[in-house]
Structure 1
Amino acid sequence: MTTSRGRARLGVLVPFTNGNLEPDLVLMRPDGVSLHSARMGGYDEDEVPDAAQMQGLGAADLDGPLSLLLGVKPDVVIYGCTSATLTHGPAFDRALADRIAAASGAKTVTAAGALVHALTALNVKKIGFASPYVPAINDMAVGFLGDLGFETVSRAEVDATLGNHEQGALDPDAVYALGLRANSVAAEAIVLSCTEMRSVEVIDRLEQRLGKPVVTSNQAIMFETLGALGIGGGMQGFGQLLEKGGR
């Protein structure tokens, strides 16, 4: 019998249109770990999530959603948008994590920081990159990772400009195809960035096809979170990263 609570509580700050982060985290959560969320604004639901929109989300005031989230006394607070800090740069991402940690007293994980943590744990330097973002955000994401020592040697983009809900509506087969297009001989791992994209469901399938690690935003979040909680032991079904166990 599995248990839904009692071991640790995860507090998740979620962009208000995002419908896939929470289901992914529930899918990957260990026994006894519960999930609690609060929604963030700062962007326009009906606008294309371009650099300006995502920078607006990253810069939005978190006092309201964070204060409500802290009512459940989470052990870890997760900032659940990758592009909101990718578009501002590594220093902004670290400063945001520090501010959340100071305000909450909890360990803090950001989606962008979790990608970096995961690639470091895998000892990977050269990546293939894909996301549902507009090309300008992909440029910023590649620059963010480049500033931290990761070289993007191949890259794939979606064929259309996707709105907030359209990004989440990409089905796993479309995400799988995107991951294949991001691959190259030189890439040591594939990165699928975006907490709204349904990447978790195709990790094992892609790894079996490509013979290399696949890192996704939500999988990386869970990996770093498990490490922050001191929960070890491999987890099957979500790629080589989680088979390593959190650390």
Structure 2
Amino acid sequence: MTAIGFLYPGHSAEDDYERIEQMLASDVRLAVVHTDIGEDAHRIDALLEMGAAERLAAGVEELRLSGAEAVVWACTSGSFVYGREGAQEQIRALARSAGLPASSTSFAFAHAVRALGASRVAVAATYPEDVAGLFADFLKAGGVEVVSSRSSGIITAAEVGTWGRDEVLELALAGDAREAEVVLLPDTALHTAAYLRELEQVLGKPVLTANQVSVWEGLRLAERRVWSKTLGRLFARPE
């Protein structure tokens, strides 16, 4: 049994992790520990507070009890908001606190893009425009070319968590660009696990979503590879 720990802010789409665990159908356990979200707002000051070291450290003891072999800060906006260097320091502090290999959803996206052999991406974000722009900046700082970035202007994770299949498909289609090799949906508050296969069929290209890449990143840190036919190209077995 391999256990991966996730620090997840508040309550929005955490049931994606249970769904993904079932879809993996393997000896992998995904342990979700909730951190204090503070003010639920996709606003830069609120996001900086959400990702503060003390908030992440508060969930570490419970995470240790889960037997996790690695930990992922499962919040994209609460990591890229610090910039690339700040986000690196955030996960270094988390690794020290937890005594485990650590990463965040923002770095998971960058690593997953490279794993797919891609370099040009389109961002389809639920966030307001300024926050979506910070995600694009984060990716560019890591050598990923962002050919387009679309924002939806949604302020709260709670609202994003109510979105279903139709809204997710509409977001991905609206955010796609012809030049993009991959489409990224960066919000861990967005339910996407159930729609990954359909998203890729409709767009005709790989789609990376926040909870999907968070799980992939945790497995990568634990040096586990698990394949799935339902979790998109990222989890596809090499031919």
Shared fold (TM-score greater than 0.5)? yes
Query: Does the alignment pair 1:209 with 2:202?
Result: yes
What's the counterpart of residue 192 of structure 1? Answer: 185
Structure 1 residue runs of 5 or longer lacking an equivalent are 1-6
Number of residue pairs aligned between Structure 1 and Structure 2: 234
SS of the residue aligned with 2:208? strand
Secondary structure of residue in 2 paired with 1:169: coil
User: Which of 1 and 2 has higher RCO (CA within 8 Å, sep 6+)?
Assistant: 2
Deviation at 1:191, TM superposition (A): 0.4
> Which residue of 223, 232, 242 maps to 2:225?
232
Q: Are the counterparts in 1 of residues 12 and 160 from structure 2 also a CA contact under 8 Å?
A: no
Instruction: Report the counterpart of residue 26 of structure 1 in structure 2.
Output: 18
Contact 1:157 1:178 in 2 (8 A): no
Return the offset for 1:42: 5.2
2:99 corresponding residue in structure 1: 105
What percent of counterpart residues are identical? 24
**Residue matched to 1:165:** 158
Q: Specify every segment of 5 or more residues in structure 2 that has no aligned partner in the other structure, as ranges.
A: none
Cα separation, 2, equivalents of 1:176 and 1:237: 16
Query: TM-score under structure 1 normalisation?
Result: 0.88
**Residue from 37, 42, 48 that aligns with 2:32:** 37
Which of 139, 142, 146 aligns to 1:152? It is: 146
Out of 88, 91, 99, the position equivalent to 2:85 is 91
CA contact (8 A) 2:8 2:33 kept: yes
Q: RMSD of the alignment, in Å?
A: 1.7
- C-alpha displacement of 1:57: 0.8
The one-letter amino acid of 1:131's match is: A
Q: Which stretch of structure 1 is more off in the superposition, 200-209 or 75-84?
A: 200-209
User: In terms of mean alpha carbon deviation, does 223-232 or 137-146 score higher?
Assistant: 223-232
CA distance in 1, matches of 2:213, 2:48: 22
Structure 1 residue aligned with 2:121 = 127
Contact (CA 8 Å) 1:219, 1:242: kept in 2 or not? no
Residue 183 (structure 1) aligns with? 176
Q: Aligned equivalents of 1:71 and 1:233: distance in 2?
A: 24
Pair 1:243-2:229 in alignment: no
Give the Cα separation in 2 of the matches to 1:168 and 1:89.
25
Task: Determine if contact 1:128/1:155 at 8 Å carries over to the other structure.
Answer: yes
Detail structure 1 runs of 4+ shifted over 3 Å in the superposition. none
Q: How does 1:41-80 map to 2 (within 5 A)?
A: 41=36, 43-45=38-40, 48-61=41-54, 62-80=56-74
Partner of 2:132: 138
Deviates more, 1:202-211 or 1:168-177: 202-211
- Structure 1 counterpart SS, 2:122: strand
Residues 161/224 of structure 1: CA separation in 2 closer, same or farther (3 Å cut): closer
Q: Deviations over 1:62-108 (max 9, x none)?
A: 33221232223311112111000111111122212122222222222
Letter in 1 for 2:101: K
